Every structure is written in structure tokens, then in C-alpha cells.
Amino acid sequence: QDGLDYLIVGSGLFGAVFAHEMTKRGKKCLVLEKREAVGGNIRCEERDGINVHVYGAHIFHTNNKEVWQYVNQFADFNQYVNSPVANFRGELYNLPFNMNTFHAMWGVTTPAEAAAKIAAQRAEIEGEPRNLEEQAISLVGRDIYEKLIQGYTEKQWGRKCTELPAFIIKRLPVRYTYDNNYFNALYQGIPIGGYNKIIAGLLEGIEVRTGVDYNASRGEYEGVARKVVYTGALDEYFAYQLGRLEYRGLKFETERLEQENHQGVAVMNYTAAEVPYTRIIEHKHFEFGTQPVTYVTREYPQEWKPGEEAYYPVNDERNQQLYEKYAELAAKEDKLILGGRLAMYKYYDMDKVIETALSAVKREAAEE
Ligand code: FAD
């Protein structure tokens, strides 16, 4: 293992893209992965012919043509378009908020009628919104707030909307067209054959050691490579010497159901406060599956405790300042490259992760 160019910690999208590109350029790479399987959070598990997104539902979407062409090298993408449905006590509404939503809510049929309804309800809030509730009402009015935002947001944050700061919601896009396409992206889809196919293509011919936690086996890998590319949590890299970064957790409850079609859509949001989960994902619909059985996953937002899977960074002031201090320590290590959602302590969509990995490769190439 000596004489490596890059020791890459983490086989998620960032690590896998970096390893692939550098190997292509003739560099010697070794990937370490602490889980038993590669792929990080885009990993799927195949059950009864259905790809189950085990770390949360993943829909690829991007405006970046280079990134789109990049992923298409490893898999073709299907025509899946994300069009989630919100379920409020049995009333169904299309998302994102659009003419279908407004028609179901108020019976309006024209954009002008819908706009007038929203404008009248927005006027309820006078002056600067003092909390998230007032902010949301000032943007879309009370009906949409109470049926589609309030309960969902309170479950996500574990706090009342009246106790959450207004800035959490800056914009609430409203469309006056009958368009249920959730993402405003030029390119969108699910890889045919699943995300594992992309990871397998990226890591083909590259040595990966799974079940190896780099931070727990530093001694063994000291000095083996010219540089270390680290995609794990930054506080963990520094043995939490300045304190711990915080995250929001998620719990997934997956169930096999003896029916062909459970909810008729891949993503159904449950927006009432009394339903404990925020969403039910029916995985087969990402790939237009026709199997006789189906798999559904209920998603429960959770407090996060150290040692649990870290899903969303909490980018508040305390955590952001702590992260900056760790980043200063990291900047002093000239053989260390950081990348990916954990090391950067940032929520990144997949396309951004690929974009930043390709940029890191270009920076490395420019240094030589
Ligand atoms: P990861 O996938 O987390 O990979 C990091 C890897 O490093 C992991 O495999 C980990 O085990 C390993 N590792 C960490 N520490 C060590 C160590 N010490 N030693 C060895 N290995 C280590 N993006 C979209 O574009 N569309 C979506 O619909 C979407 N949905 C999402 C839903 C959820 C619930 C979440 C949480 C994210 C979603 N994302 C989505 C974002 C997407 O998951 C990320 O952009 C992407 O997976 C990040 O890749 P990564 O390589 O940065 O991190």
C-alpha cells in the first residue's frame, strides 16, 4: 500500500468521483470505507427486484450539463420526474404549490383567481414577520400555511413554527401553472439499474477496503500516500478536540407490503402534525416497478445523538463557528484535502458533490 498518490477516506459520491478521476490520470489510489458497503448515502439495497433507497430517497436533478453528462457515462437515466403529493388528513394536494394545489384547496380555476386568493390571505400579516409562522403566512397565506407547511415544518424541526426564526423560510415558490414538477432542473431522473451502478462504475478497478475506519486506524495508514482526501466528519478527524458538531437525525422504517401499489406515487408528504412521520416513500415508483410486492419507508425526523447516522448539518451560529475553527486546523495540514457533505459540514445535493469533486481534481492537476 506504500507509494500511493491518494488515500481516499469515504466511498460516497465525492470519494468515488475523486478516486475515479485520479486513477484515470494514472494516479495510485486506495479508498477506505468504514461501512461494510460502498456508496455512502446514495447506496441502495435490492429487495424483490426493487431498489430501496436505504439512506433516504434520492432523486438526481441538475442544471449543470457537464455533471449530467458525467453521470450518464455510468448509467442511463429514466424519465422520473419528482411530483410529490401532500396528504393533510386525507385531503390530497400537489406539490410544489401550483394551480393544481390551488384548485384542490379553493376550487379556483384561473391564475388570476388563485393570485387574488393568496394576496388577500397574505395581507393578514402587517409589518416584519416575527417568526416562521408569520413569515409563511406573509408569503402564501393562512390556508396553505395551515394545511401544507405548519405540521410538516414542526415535525422537521421538533419545534413550534411560532418558536422558529422567520429566516428559515426565505422564499416559498408559488407557480401559477398546472405544473407538478418539483425540481426546477434542466435534467432529472433516476439511474436505470440504481445508484449502485454509478458507484460500481466509478470504483471499477480501484482498491477499496470496507469496514475500515480511518480515524481508528490512523497509525496503520500514516505516510502511505502523498495526500489524504477526507470525506468524513471534520470534528471526528480532530478527535472532537474543540467540541462536537451537531446534526438533525432521521429514522427510517421500511416495510414490505404484499400489494402491487400502495400509494401510487414515490413521495407522499404527511403534513398534519398528529401523524408522526413526515413522508412515506414507495421506492418502486422511482423506477416504474411492476413487481407484485412493494416496499415503503416512513421517515421520522429525530434528535441526533453522537454515534448515530448524521443526516443534516445544523448550520446555526454555534455550529458554524465551531466548524470554522476545525477548518482552520485543517488548513494547516498541507497534505489534506477535504470534500463532501460531512467534511464541509454542508447540505449538498448529489450534483454539487460531483461538481466539487471534479473541481478538487482540477485544482490538484493544476498544482502539478
Ligand atoms: P457520503 O455519501 O456521506 O459519503 C461519505 C462516506 O465516507 C460514507 O460512506 C462514510 O461511511 C465514509 N466515512 C466517513 N467517515 C469515515 C472514516 N473515518 N473512515 C472511513 N470512511 C468514512 N441529493 C440529491 O441530489 N437529490 C436527492 O433527492 C437527495 N436526497 C437526500 C435525502 C436525504 C435524506 C439526505 C440525507 C441527502 C440527500 N441528498 C440528495 C444528498 C446526497 O445524499 C449527498 O449529496 C451525497 O450522498 C453526499 O456524498 P458524500 O460523498 O459527500 O457523502
Per-residue pLDDT at 153 exceeds 70: yes
Active site (annotated) includes residue 182: no
Measured in Å, residue 41 CA sits from the centre of ligand 1 at 4
Q: Whose CA is nearest to atom 14 of ligand 1?
A: 232
pLDDT tens by residue, 3-56: 999 999 999 999 999 999 999 999 999 999 999 999 999 999 999 999 999 999
Instruction: Kindly give the distance from the C-alpha atom of residue 15 to the centroid of ligand 1, in angstroms, as a whole number.
Output: 10
Which is the CATH superfamily of the domain at 4-80+187-246+314-367?
NAD(P)-binding Rossmann-like Domain (3.40.50.720)
Among 260, 308, 347, 363, the active-site one is 347
Long-range contacts of 351-355 (CB under 8 A, 24+ apart): 351/60, 351/61, 351/62, 351/64, 351/67, 351/68, 353/12, 353/13, 353/14, 353/17, 354/13, 354/17, 354/67, 354/70, 354/71, 355/64, 355/66, 355/67
Q: Say whether 244 is catalytic.
A: no
Q: Where are the domains of the chain?
A: 4-80+187-246+314-367, 96-168, 247-303
The reply to whether 349 belongs to the active site is yes
Amino acid 46: pLDDT: 97
Give 171's pLDDT tier (boundaries 50, 70, 90): confident
**pLDDT one-digit tens code per residue, 291-322:** 999 999 999 999 899 988 999 998 889 999 99
Is 363 one of the catalytic residues? no
User: Does 142 qualify as catalytic in the annotation?
Assistant: no
State the closest ligand 1 atom to the C-alpha of 340, by its place in the atom list counted from 1: 52
Q: Whose CA is nearest to atom 9 of ligand 1?
A: 40
**Distance between Cα 11 and ligand 1 center (Å):** 9
* C-alpha of residue 13 to centroid of ligand 1, in Å: 7
Judged against a pLDDT cut of 80, whether residue 1 lies above it is answered with no
- Of the CA atoms within 13 Å of residue 121, those in its CB half-sphere come to 19
